[in-house]
Amino acid sequence: MATSLDYVEFLCEQLGSLWAVRSKKMFGEYMVYVNDKPILLVCDNTVFVKIIPELAPLMGGAARGLPYSGAKEHYILDIEDKDILRAAVEILEPVTPLPKGRKKK
């Protein structure tokens, strides 16, 4: 099941007042960028974030899952809980690097 655009738009609305937020469709799923950094992966109407040490205090007890076959395990983020959603983005945004540009041939 692919992610619905309505779900991604709802997610972006939750964050849009605090950061520059955009989404990009990838293979029927979405990546949500915060301040041009890839922060949230949305697959099958579920939001995934990387498991990193900085998130452990906030997300240590959260559910985990695989966003797609062959992926590493991620935390599953409950976007209905605005406090956890915003706290997770506040942690991830400073530690997530900007994507490297593609080299032109």
Domain at 5-95: CATH code: 3.30.1460.30
- What is the distance of C-alpha 88 from the center of its chain? 9
CB 102 within 8 A of CB 31: no
Query: In 10 A of CB 101, how many CB atoms?
Result: 6
pLDDT tens digits for range 34-89: 999 999 999 999 999 999 999 999 998 999 999 999 999 999 999 889 899 999 99
**Domain coordinates of the chain in residue numbers?**
5-95
pTM of the model: 0.89
